[in-house]
A and B are shown apart, each in its own frame.
Chain A
Amino acid sequence: MKPLKIQEKLLLLKVRKKDPDAFGQIYDLYVTSIYRFIYFKVANRADAEDLTSEVFLKIWQYLIDCEDEIDNLRALIYKFARNLVIDFYRQRAKRELIGDEEMMLKVEDSRQQNILSQIETKSDLGNIEIVLAGVKDVYREVLVLRYIEELSISEMAKILEKSKGSVRVLLHRALKIVREVVKKNESG
C-alpha cells in the first residue's frame, strides 16, 4: 500500500516529537515492503526478519536525532535497508575470512545457497523467483523496486544513488536479461 504523502509527513512530524504510536504506524505502512525488499537480497526469511527489525530501529534513531528536512520517508527507509544489507554481507564476509577457509569455500554465496535449497520446495511462484535469484543483484534490485514495490524512477534514483537515466538503462537491461533467461528455461 502506498501511503499518502501528506499522511507520511504528518507521521514524520509526530515521530520527530518521539511519538511511539506514530512510529508504530510508520512500521505498519512499510514493514511488508521492506521485508520483501530485504528478502530478495538475502533470500532467507530469518535473516530478512532480523534485518527488517534492525532497519526500523535505525530509522527511529535517525528520525529523532536528525534535524534535516526529510523529503521522502519511503525512499529513506529503503536506503537504510539497502545499506544494512550491504553491511550484513560485509560482516559475514569478514567473519568467513577470519574463520575456516574451507568453510568459506563451502559458503561461497550464502544467498545462492539459500535459493538452491528452496528450488525443490517452490513450484508455482518459484519459477520467476528463481530466475530473479539467478540474475545479478543490481538487476534484481531495480526489478523488485520498480515492479513489486512500485517505486517511481526518481525514488529509485534516490535509493540507488544513481541518475534517473541510468536507473532506466538498468531496468531495461534487467528486463532483457530476465526475458532471455525465461526463454532459455522454456526452450530447455
Chain B
Amino acid sequence: MNQANQAIIEKIKELKKIKPRSEWQALNRDFLLSKITTETKTEPVKLSWQEYGQFFVRVIRQRFFLEPAVVILLVLSFSVASSFAVNAAFYSLPGEPLYRMKLVLEKAQLAITPSESDKVQLKIEFAQKRVEEFDKIVSQTDVTPEVKTEQIHLVMKELQKNVGSVKEHVDKNTASDKNVSGSDLEKTLQMAIAINSKTEELAKSLDEKIGGLTESEKVEVQSDLNQTVESVQQISLSAQELIKESQPNQEADEPQTATSTPDVIENQNSSETEGQGVVEGAATSTINTQSFSESGSDDSVRDSETTPETVETTDQTKQP
C-alpha cells in the first residue's frame, strides 16, 4: 500500500511542470508594479544598519531564543571557548595577548576569596607563578634578546606588584596585631608561618633564577631583581616578627589553661562539700589536685569526673 501511495505521490509531483506562461508572468509583474506605484506613494527602501540590527534581533528572538537546543549549544560553545581561552591564558607569558587576561583572572580569583589568610596565600601563589614565568622567559631560545629583556621587565613589574601586595598585607597584620583576639591571633600566626616559608622559597628561587641569565641580561634586570628580592626578604622578616610577637602571647595563654583545671575542680569540691565537713573536703581536693598534676591533662579530666563521688564517700564515712 505504501508503494502504491509512493507511486501516486510521484505522479502528483510531476504536476509541478504546470507553470504560468512566462510572458504573462513578466507582463503581470510590470502591470502589478505600475498599479501599486500609481495607487500608493512608493519608493525604493534602503534599510539602515540600525534597522537591519533590529530586524536580526527580532528574528533571532522569535526563532531561536526559546529553543532549548540552541540555548544549550550557545552555552556549551561559550563555555568551551572560554575554557580554551582561560587555558591558553594560563600558559601565556608577559607581552602575549592573553597575559592581561591571566592577570585579570587572578584578580577575579582574589576578589571572590572571602578569607584574608586565603587571599595572602593566593597572592603568594601568584608571586610564585611570576617566578615560574620568569624561569620560562629565561629558558626561551626562540626570541630576540630585546623581547626577552622586555618580557623580564614586565614579569618583574608584576612580581613586584604581587610581592608589594603581600607585604602590605603582612604590614597591616603587624599593625593591627595588638588588638586581635584568640582565633584571629591563631589565624595570623598560621598565615605568618606560611608567608615566612613561602617567601623564603621565593627568595631562594629568585636567587637561583638570576644564575640562569646571561651577563647583559643580568645588568638590565639586576636593579629590579635586587629590589624584588629585598622586598621578599622584608616580608619574610616581617612574618618572622609576627610569629615572634604572637608566640609570647600564646605561651602566656598556655599556663593559664594548665592551671585552670585544678581551679575548676576545687570549685566543684567546695560546692559539693557545702554544709558538710569543710576541712575534710579541702583535704581531699588537695590530694586530687596533686594527682592531676602528676598524671597529665587527659587523666585529670577523668579524675575530675570522679572527684565529687570520692568526696561524698569520704564525707559519709566521717558522718556519725
Binding site for B on A (CB under 8 A): 5-6, 9-10, 13-14, 17-24, 27-28, 31-32, 35-36, 39-40, 45, 48-49, 52-53, 56-57, 60, 64, 125, 127-129, 132, 143-144, 147-148, 175, 178-179, 182-183
Contacts and interface: CB of A to CB of B under 8 A. Distances in A.
Given A35-B20, A48-B20, 5 more contacts: A128-B8, A147-B9, A147-B12, A179-B8, A183-B4
B18 A31 contact: no
Contact of A49 (B17, B20, B33): B20
Contacts of A60: 32, 36
Nearest to B28: A53
A22 B36 contact: no
Interface in B64-120: none
A39 B9 CA distance: 19
Given A36-B19, A39-B18, A179-B4, A20 B11 contact: no
Given A18-B41, A20-B44, A128 B14 contact: yes
A19 to B, nearest CB: 4
Nearest to B29: A27
Interface centre among B8, B37, B44 (most CB of A within 10 A): B8
A149 B53 CA distance: 32
Contacts of A52: 20, 28
Nearest to A183: B4
Contacts of A13: 47, 51, 55
Interface SS of A by simple majority: helix
Given A20-B44, A24-B29, A179-B8, A32 B20 contact: yes
Given A20-B37, A60-B36, A178 B18 contact: no
B179 to A, nearest CB: 67
Contact of A5 (B17, B37, B63): B63
B14, B15, B43: most-surrounded residue (chain A CB, <10 A): B15
Contacts of A128: 8, 11-12, 14-15
Contacts of A127: 11
Contact of A57 (B15, B21, B32, B41): B32
Contacts of A31: 20, 25, 28-29
Contacts of A64: 40
Contacts of B19: 32, 35-36
A52 to B, nearest CB: 7
A104 B45 CA distance: 50
B13 interface: yes
Contacts of A36: 15-16, 18-20
Contacts of A20: 33, 36-37, 42, 44
Contacts of A9: 55, 59
Most buried by B among A5, A20, A179: A20
B24 A49 contact: yes
Contacts of A23: 32-33, 36
Contact of B32 (A56, A178, A183): A56
